[in-house]
Chains A and B, each alone.
Chain A
Amino acid sequence: MSDFGGALLALLALTLVKATPLIYAALGGVLSERSGVVNIGLEGILTAAAFFAVVASAATGSPIAGAAAGMVAGAAVAAILAFAATRLGVDQIVAGTGLNIMALGGAAYGLVLVFNQPGASREVPSLGKPGEVVLIALAFALAAALWFALFRTPWGLHVRACGENPRAAEVAGIDALQTRFWAVVIGGAIAALGGVYLSLAELDLYSDGMTAGRGYIALAAVIFGRWNPWGALGAALFFGFFAALQYSLQRAGIPSELMQALPYVAALVALAGFAGRVRAPAADGIPFER
């Protein structure tokens, strides 16, 4: 194979690696927002999942148990947001921001408590290459499954109804608050797999700040993907490509800081270019009260 072909293949492989956590987070965001709850807390969910996955893997020696613990942790963080959003009627964006800060501080604190060292955990049993491949493939499968669930099942219809018009949904006999709650929690468990991927597949440890704003890029991917699982998958791949591109272009002598900024600039431009032309679920972000 020519050098160019090899480089291209490496770029595409790296795109998949960089896109996978974004795909999970964006799919979790799509489910949450389709039910009417904006999930700014994706970053915190990734953080909590990445951290608890490592803790459980260290404690049990089993990375599978680690992955399960990571999902539970992500779902738990999402449950806090879901409870606040459905039962307390809080501003979802402000609450999500608080959750992100909580998760960051909590993980840093837990790192000292559990591993007795600040900054990063020790290396723990990881899912390894096979696990990484499985998680990449699962991300695509989940996009298909979520699309089917949202658009081809009664449950999906209920979720979307709560995101568009919760009052009408209630009149039709759907418990809007409960539907929203579980959509956010399940979305949290899905997004959590992105955190598990970061700490147990791409790496084998947790370090402070390792999620590096991926939860925020995933939010842009939700909008860019028009609140559709396939669209979110495509957008995550798009941002993943820019994240991968920075490594190729760095070798070409372009300053690394500018390259690292690429996915964020791409997200910003996409946001501005798309914002006027897409429609969010009508009740997205609006608390519902009976």
Chain B
Amino acid sequence: MGRTLRDALIALGIVFGVGSGAMLLAHVSPIDGFGALFDGALGNASELAETLLQTTALLFPALGIALAFRAGLFNIGAEGQIVLGGMTAGILGVALPLPGPLLIPVVLVAGACAGGLWGGLAGFLKARFGANEVISTLMLNTIAILLATYLIGGPFKQPGAGAAETPQLPPAAWLPVLVPNSRLSVSFLIALALAAALQYAFHRTVFGYELRAAGKAPEAARRAGIDLGRTAFSAMALSGAIAGLGGATIVMGVLHRFNTGLSPGYGFVAIAVALVGNLEPLFIIIAAFGFGILQSGAIAMQAEANVPRDIVTLIEGLVIVALAGRRFVAERRTS
């Protein structure tokens, strides 16, 4: 708890300290800049809904990254997993001739499977060949985007598809809207439920114990009969599946079609979210809301206060550097 509080304070210090500095450089008063940011993120119901939508988009990959971190694995591949999960939902949502109540769960699961396959591939390469998951997931990110661009423009091109996007999903495949006149769908509730389930799984199940053991003390875990290769594979596959599910909800709840630009880097910002949340799902919800405010307020800040929104990316990177404390080191390097 103490460390979580300290990390949160560091993150807040960076956001306001560096943010103010960057605004002053752009000749904008930080009061105006942050005022526009918070007003744009929280000023009225529809803006709050948009912030919660960003929160949701960050929450899925952050939970997946936290799961992998707990097993001592760094999944930088969430971005690619989001893209493939979204692509699968975009293609199947149009192509599957299923009735509504069945269509939504099937397409969601298919999206999760696609992300899981991509994460699992990195896990397999790690378990079977010892290939470093950090570099393999970085490669798989680029490959995923190129593969998706190729597939939706080539073999899986559907009638009515535009350039680099699939046709619009039938309304039966749209996730129900949560707040009227907004883009916020039930995916927010799915993400919250998933966080609660993971909080339970991490602390109260054998699987959670095995993850932690493999991450914290791999040699002891191996001697205790935990199959480290299998744990690495399942952690990466699950991590990818959660990110892929997030991609599917963006397609089914927000865009109602897949396009290759569906994620403006959610998979990377989610690393900061997972770290600020100290890998604890319930804290990650709060962290995701904080970064959700930054993401959705940045656009208003740029429009109204003339501060380039890219400072938010700069700040997010700095938060990751500042919180790269040594708590993961022993875990990963001894495996």
Interface residues of A (CB under 8 A from B): 40, 80, 84, 89-95, 97-106, 108-109, 112-113, 118, 213, 216-217, 219-220, 223, 255, 257-258, 260-261, 264-265, 267-268, 271-273, 275-276, 285-287
Contacts and interface: CB of A to CB of B under 8 A. Distances in A.
Contact of B125 (A105, A109, A272): A272
A89 B330 CA distance: 11
B134 A271 contact: no
Contact of A105 (B153, B275, B311): B311
Interface in B240-276: 265, 268-269, 271-272, 275
A109 B310 contact: yes
B25 A113 contact: yes
A102 B324 contact: no
Contact of A94 (B139, B153, B271, B318): B271
6 contacts: A90-B329, A106-B317, A255-B150, A257-B147, A268-B143, A271-B136
A92 B22 CA distance: 26
The interface size bin for chain B is 35 or more
A109 B146 contact: no
Contacts of B74: 93-94, 97
Question: Which among A91, A95, A112, A267 has the greatest number of chain B C-beta atoms within 10 A?
Answer: A91
A152 B329 CA distance: 32
A162 B13 CA distance: 34
A204 B313 CA distance: 25
B280 to A, nearest CB: 17
Given A90-B324, A260-B146, A108 B139 contact: no
A91 B325 contact: yes
B329 A91 contact: yes
Contacts of A91: 324-329, 332
A97 B315 contact: no
A113 B125 CA distance: 43
Contact of B135 (A105, A223, A261, A286): A223
A118 to B, nearest CB: 7
A238 to B, nearest CB: 14
A133 B134 CA distance: 34
A260 B328 CA distance: 34
A106 B314 contact: yes
Question: Which among A102, A220, A258, A276 has the greatest number of chain B C-beta atoms within 10 A?
Answer: A102
A93 B134 contact: yes
A113 B142 contact: no
A102 B326 contact: no
Nearest to B334: A286
B320 interface: yes
Contacts of A220: 135, 139
Question: Which among B128, B135, B141, B313 has the greatest number of chain A C-beta atoms within 10 A?
Answer: B135
Question: Which among A104, A105, A265, A272 has the greatest number of chain B C-beta atoms within 10 A?
Answer: A105
B131 interface: yes
Contacts of B321: 80, 84, 90, 95, 98-99, 102
A257 B139 contact: no
Contacts of B190: none
Given A112-B308, A220-B139, 14 more contacts: A89-B329, A91-B327, A91-B332, A94-B271, A97-B268, A102-B317, A106-B317, A109-B22, A112-B26, A112-B310, A213-B138, A217-B139, A264-B142, A268-B139
B320 A98 contact: yes
B146 A261 contact: yes
B149 interface: yes
B329 A286 contact: yes
Given A94-B328, A261-B147, A276 B130 contact: yes
